[in-house]
Amino acid sequence: MSSIYDEYKRKVLQLLNLGVFSALLLTIVHTMLFEGSDIQSFMGQLRGAHFREMTPYSYGRRLQEEKAMAKAEENFDEAQLSDTCIKRNHSEQICPGRAHDCCSCHDELGCTCEGHWRRWGRTKFWTECKDHKEDGIRKCKCTQSMQTAKTVVKTAAGAVAGSSTGTKIGYQVFGALFYWYMMIKRGPKERGSRTQYNEKSHYPYEFLGPLNDREWKIGPCECCGDCTGSFMNLLLFTPRMATTWWAISIVTTKDPKHAWLWSFLQTLICFPCFPIMGLTRRGRIRELFQMKPDFATDCCCWFCCAPLMICQEARLVDAAQGYSQGICGMKQYFPPPPGPCNLIIDGKRVEAKTAVWNMPFLGKECKGKLLVDASNLFGKSDFAIDCTGSIILLSRGDVSFTQKVVRASEAGASGAIIFSNEDKEAKPLMVIPNDPGAPPPKIPAVYISKEIGTNLIGMLDKGLVTVELQFGIELQNDLMHVELLRALDSEKGMATKDAFGGFLKEGVQIVPGGTIPGENITDLMQGLKDHKAFPATAIMGPGGSKTDVPKQEEMK
């Protein structure tokens, strides 16, 4: 996959260097030529008439003054009217006509038609008003210039974002401090501070290219799918871009916290050429999520629709790492729970909860004798027994699921079964999670209830117990459903080709379990064809697996 990044780097390197140099030079020249200091410019804007006229407090007061002035102007002659307009309106225009004519002056709009102004209000920017006769009737002709409209809009935008380079940078720095404290340092209550991931960290397989036709899991125009997150991403777009690139280790230093700061400074200093930076790093995101390279499309999107690209990349990275953007902090993201997997105990099928890292073991044989280390039931330390080729039974608690299964893998186990430590869980576990930012364990794992776990321990006291684990593929939409039907033989229920980016191997077959109804090949294939609800789980087992295993029943 390194060729993807190399291709982007080769095409963009020269353009990036030129853009960075030009941006820095332009920023320095602009700052040197700017009149007055940043603070003086900002305070001057606060005292300026344009800004004052736009405040809610002044708006009501101005209406009263306008009514009084309009009444007083009825007694002005032409000279007085013209002189008043010159002194009052910012455009310094001399309005034609006398007090009784239709044209008069306005503080902000200059010469204007009173009738037009009363009808359309301030949404019209009249720049010229003239008296003229049409068919013997005296009328007022007014014209407007979009340049004046742009000036007023620019003034309003400057009042919000700062009229000088210094105030704009100040706002971005303040936004970055807010973002760092609320979105990075605090993090969700369940997970604490956000951490930087690397290439060895686990990303859920449903977000990877192989299960999404080698394309993005989240489309570029799906910003309305998370309106709150999209709003915050656009409001604080510089720290948001820095977070996206920092979170997946595109920008790294010895200290991850310093890496975030360096990423933000890169975004801020090189802001004029951030589309070039975004284009280059979008190729790195494609590589990380195993998508095919598409330089032309990415170039078009980043230079034409940069805000959409910021939101798309942010949502993908956040969701893949288990986060969701909020107004005042990150929240934990909960994807649709997968269906059950199979735990077969001495030929009897029991439903179990799968782990997020089980996808690579789809259709592979995971079978062995059941072992338990009574002295290390929670997996807090290294196992004292040899677990080679066996499946170990563990209890939930004390340490994370990932740490338990990693120690089991180091002891030689081929799989792990974890049972609940509570009779009735307040928050039932839907899927075994992986530690944030940690590499996934090298063996599969399933989760069962405390009742089934204690029954297994009782069965071990009576003799040898053989268990087998079978996992399913998650069908999230119609396209995945159709792809699975095309990959399976309609009569044998066996895969005739590799599919889903290689996760589904030729020779594996569908077996009972999951959310697809049926207890034999014929019923399973018919149930798969008729199934319309998503997400759905189709359990796949090694070729030759028995499909007539008993239904789930109470273990004794």
pLDDT at 127 over 90: no
Binned at pLDDT 50, 70 and 90, residue 99 comes out as very low
Query: How much is the CA Rg of the chain, to the nearest whole Å?
Result: 34
DSSP-assigned letters across all residues of 101-113: SSEEEETTTEEEE
Q: Is the pLDDT of residue 104 over 80?
A: no
Instruction: Select the more confidently predicted residue: 426 or 494.
Output: 494
Residue 83: predicted pLDDT: 37
pLDDT reported for residue 538:
92
Predicted confidence (pLDDT) per residue in 484-496, tens digit: 999 998 888 899 9
Residue 471: pLDDT above 70? yes
Q: Which residues share a beta bridge with 140? A: 131
- In this predicted structure, what is the pLDDT of residue 146? 55
Three-state SS string across 417-450, please?
Answer: EEECCCCCCCCCCCCECCCCCCCCCCCCEEEECH
**Ramachandran region of residue 540, left (φ > 0), alpha (ψ -120 to 50) or beta?**
beta
63 has pLDDT over 80:
no
Of 71-85, 241-255, 434-448, which range is least confident? 71-85
Look at 24-38, 142-156, 210-224 and tell me which has the smallest mean pLDDT: 24-38
Please check the confidence at residue 446 and state whether its pLDDT lies above 90: yes
Residue 373: per-residue pLDDT? 86
The pLDDT, as a whole number, for residue 79 is: 34
Choice between 101 and 340, residue whose per-residue pLDDT is larger = 340
Where do the domains of the chain lie, and which CATH numbers do they carry? 2-31+164-332 (no CATH), 72-150 (no CATH), 341-541 (3.50.30.30)
pLDDT computed for residue 98 by the predictor: 43
Identify the residue whose tokens are 């009574």: 374
Residue 149 has pLDDT above 70, yes or no: no
Is pLDDT above 60 for 517? yes
Note the pLDDT of residue 246.
Answer: 92
- Phi-psi group of 349: left, alpha or beta (phi > 0 → left; psi -120 to 50 → alpha; rest → beta): beta
For residue 21, what pLDDT is reported? Answer: 56
Instruction: Report residue 52's pLDDT band, with 50, 70 and 90 as the boundaries.
Output: very low
Q: Which residues pair with 324 in a beta bridge?
A: 331
Predicted pLDDT at 244 = 92
Q: pLDDT tens digit string along 263-279?
A: 988 888 887 787 888 88
pLDDT of residue 148: 56
The pLDDT assigned to 138 comes to 53
3-class DSSP assignment, residue 452: helix
Residue 243 — pLDDT band, cuts 50, 70, 90?
A: very high
